[in-house]
C-alpha cells in the first residue's frame, strides 16, 4: 500500500511541475473577418465583441477622456524564479507569431547593428522592470514590453515630426485623452509611470475593439479609425480583414514585423549572435513623495545621483525646478530613495527652490519681460526655453528667480495648468493687393522682393503674365508683429490682409 502511495504522490508532483513550467498560451482571438454571414457590405465597420469581458470605453472618434486603468493583483502559480528580466519576458510571450516575409529582413537589420541594439537595451534597463510588472499585473502579453524599442529606442526624450513624445510616442491629443498633462512645467507623455499606464490603457482598449493583437498594434501606430476603415473597405470587396490583408502605409506595414523581429531576438539571442546585457529581475527605481518645490539640481545632489541619471528617470520635467503641487513624486534609483530622504531631512539650506512663477500681464517681447523682472534676457530664455525672435503672450506663465522673502510655493492651479504661449516676431501673411496700371508678375515680384515663380504660383498665372488694373493680386509675406497686441502690423502696400497661411 505504501508503494502505491509513493507512486501516486510522485505522479501528482510530476503533473504539478509540468503545469508550473508552462508559459502562458497564445490567446484565442476573434478576428473581425469571422463575422457571421449575411452582413450587408454597405454597413459601417463594427468592432467585434471585446475579449476582455467589457465594451470599449468609447467608440472610435469619441474624445471622452479615458480614466486611468486600475488592476487587481493577480494570483500567479509558483514557478522557478526567472534568471533575469529577459527570461521573465520570454515566459510571458502570449501573442501569435506574425508569419510575414518582412520579418527576416527586420531580424537581419537589427542583427547587423549589435552596438545599436546593445545601446537600446542599456537604455531600457531603467524602465523595463516597471513595464513588465504592469503588463503582468494586467494579464497582458509581455511582448508589449518590447514596443518602446520600436517606438523610441527606449528614449523617453524622443520627439517625432508628428509631435509624438516619450518612450510610447503619444501625440498631444491622444496624450490628453489618456490623462497625460502637458503644461509649461512638465509633459507626462515623457513620464515613466504616467506614459506606461496610458499606453497600456490604450493598447487594452484597442485589443478590446478588434479582438486581435496585430490589429490593435496597427491601430496604435496608424489610428483605430484608419484600421477600421481599411477593414470595412476589405469586407466590402470580399477580401480578408486580418492585419496582413489590409492596405496600410509603409510605416504600419513594417511596424509589427519590427516587433516580431525584436521578439525573436529576445527569444533566442544566440541564434542572431547577439548578447543582451544582463538586466536583473529587480526594480530599478523607487518613487519618492515631495512636499515642497525643489530645484532639479538640488534634488539630484541630495539623492547622490548624477544629474543626467536623475533626468533620465524624471524626463517629464521641463524646467530646472520641480513644483510639488504639480509633480508630487519623483523617481530615484532603488538604493538612493532612502539616501535622498535622509539628506533632505538633514538639509540646512535656506530653501529648496530658487525659482517661482510669474504670469505675464500683457503681450510683450522677451527683452521687455526680462527688464521688468530685472534679469538678463539670456537667463529668461534659458529658464523657459524661449527661442529667439519670439514674443510672450499675455497670461503666459514663466519661471523666474524666487525672491528671498517669498515663502509660499507655486499653487496647484498654476503648477497643473500653466502654459507658455509664444508668437513669432514676424508672421507669414496672405496679402491681397489691387493691381495698378502696367502691373505684371515681374513688377510685383520686383517691388516686394519676391521670386516671380512664387507670385505666378500664388495667382495661378504664368511668370510673364500682366495684371488688369484693379485686379486682386495675392502675395505671401513675413510681416512684423505689434508686440503690444500680438497681431501682425499691416504693411502699407496691403489693401486687404486675409487669413494667415502658416508654413507656406
Catalytic residues: 151
Query: CA-CA distance, 504 to 491, in Å (whole number)?
Result: 18
- Check if the beta carbon of residue 98 is closer than 8 Å to that of residue 256: yes
Joined grid coordinates for residue 71: 488592476
Joined grid coordinates for residue 88: 521573465
Distances (CA, A) of 308 to 292, 301, 383, 495: 22, 11, 18, 54
Residue whose C-alpha is closest to residue 89's, from 164, 47, 146: 146
- The DSSP letter of residue 152 is H
The dihedral formed by the CA atoms of 409, 412, 416 and 417, expressed in degrees to the nearest 10: -100
**Full DSSP string of 86-144:** HHHHHHT--SPPP--THHHHHHHHHHT-HHHHHHHHHHHTTTHHHHHHHHHHHT--GGG
Query: CA-CA distance, 230 to 207, in Å (whole number)?
Result: 17
Residue whose C-alpha is closest to residue 317's, from 349, 336, 342, 293: 293
Amino acid at each position: 500500500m505504501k508503494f502505491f502511495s509513493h507512486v501516486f504522490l510522485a505522479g501528482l508532483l510530476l503533473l504539478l511541475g509540468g503545469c508550473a513550467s508552462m508559459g502562458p498560451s497564445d490567446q484565442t482571438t476573434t478576428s473581425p473577418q469571422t463575422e457571421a454571414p449575411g452582413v450587408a457590405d454597405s454597413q459601417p465597420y463594427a468592432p467585434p465583441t471585446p475579449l476582455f469581458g467589457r465594451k470599449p470605453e468609447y467608440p472610435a472618434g469619441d474624445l471622452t477622456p479615458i480614466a486611468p486603468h486600475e488592476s487587481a493583483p493577480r494570483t500567479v502559480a509558483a514557478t522557478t524564479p526567472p534568471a533575469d528580466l529577459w527570461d521573465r519576458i520570454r515566459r510571458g510571450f502570449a501573442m501569435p507569431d506574425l508569419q510575414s516575409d518582412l520579418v527576416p529582413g527586420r531580424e537581419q537589420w537589427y542583427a547587423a547593428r549589435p552596438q545599436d541594439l546593445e545601446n537600446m537595451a542599456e537604455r531600457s534597463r531603467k524602465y523595463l522592470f516597471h513595464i513588465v510588472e504592469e503588463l503582468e499585473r494586467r494579464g497582458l502579453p509581455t511582448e508589449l514590453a518590447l514596443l518602446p524599442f520600436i517606438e523610441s529606442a527606449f528614449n523617453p526624450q524622443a520627439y517625432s515630426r508628428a509631435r509624438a513624445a516619450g518612450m510610447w510616442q503619444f501625440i498631444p491629443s491622444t496624450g490628453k485623452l489618456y490623462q497625460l498633462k502637458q503644461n509649461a512645467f512638465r509633459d507626462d507623455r515623457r513620464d515613466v509611470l504616467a506614459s506606461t499606464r496610458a499606453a497600456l490603457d490604450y493598447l487594452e482598449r484597442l485589443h478590446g475593439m478588434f479582438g486581435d493583437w496585430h490589429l490593435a498594434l496597427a491601430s496604435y501606430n496608424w489610428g483605430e479609425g484608419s484600421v477600421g476603415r481599411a477593414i470595412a473597405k476589405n469586407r466590402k470587396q470580399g477580401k480578408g480583414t486580418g492585419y496582413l490583408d489590409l492596405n496600410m502605409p509603409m510605416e504600419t506595414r513594417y511596424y509589427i514585423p519590427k516587433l516580431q523581429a525584436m521578439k525573436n531576438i529576445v527569444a533566442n539571442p544566440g541564434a542572431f549572435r547577439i548578447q543582451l546585457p544582463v538586466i536583473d529581475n529587480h526594480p530599478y527605481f523607487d518613487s519618492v513623495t515631495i512636499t515642497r518645490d525643489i530645484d532639479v539640481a538640488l534634488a539630484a545632489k541630495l539623492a547622490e545621483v548624477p544629474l543626467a541619471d536623475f533626468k533620465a528617470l524624471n524626463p517629464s520635467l521641463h524646467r530646472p525646478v520641480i513644483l510639488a503641487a504639480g509633480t508630487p513624486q519623483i523617481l530615484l534609483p532603488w538604493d538612493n530613495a532612502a539616501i535622498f530622504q535622509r539628506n533632505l531631512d538633514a538639509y540646512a539650506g535656506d530653501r529648496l527652490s530658487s525659482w517661482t512663477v510669474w504670469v505675464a500681464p500683457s503681450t510683450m517681447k522677451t527683452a521687455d519681460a526680462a527688464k521688468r523682472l530685472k534679469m538678463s534676457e539670456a537667463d529668461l530664455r534659458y529658464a523657459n526655453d524661449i527661442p529667439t525672435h519670439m514674443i510672450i503672450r499675455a497670461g503666459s506663465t514663466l519661471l523666474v528667480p524666487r525672491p528671498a522673502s517669498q515663502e509660499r510655493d507655486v499653487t496647484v492651479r498654476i503648477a497643473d495648468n500653466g502654459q507658455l504661449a509664444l508668437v513669432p516676431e514676424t508672421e507669414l501673411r496672405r496679402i491681397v493687393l489691387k493691381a495698378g496700371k502696367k502691373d505684371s508678375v515681374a513688377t510685383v515680384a520686383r517691388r516686394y522682393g519676391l521670386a516671380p515663380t512664387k507670385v505666378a504660383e500664388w495667382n495661378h498665372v504664368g511668370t510673364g503674365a500682366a495684371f488688369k488694373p484693379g485686379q486682386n493680386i495675392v502675395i505671401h509675406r513675413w510681416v512684423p508683429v505689434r508686440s503690444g497686441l500680438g497681431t501682425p502690423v499691416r504693411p502699407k502696400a496691403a489693401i486687404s490682409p486675409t487669413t494667415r497661411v502658416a508654413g507656406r
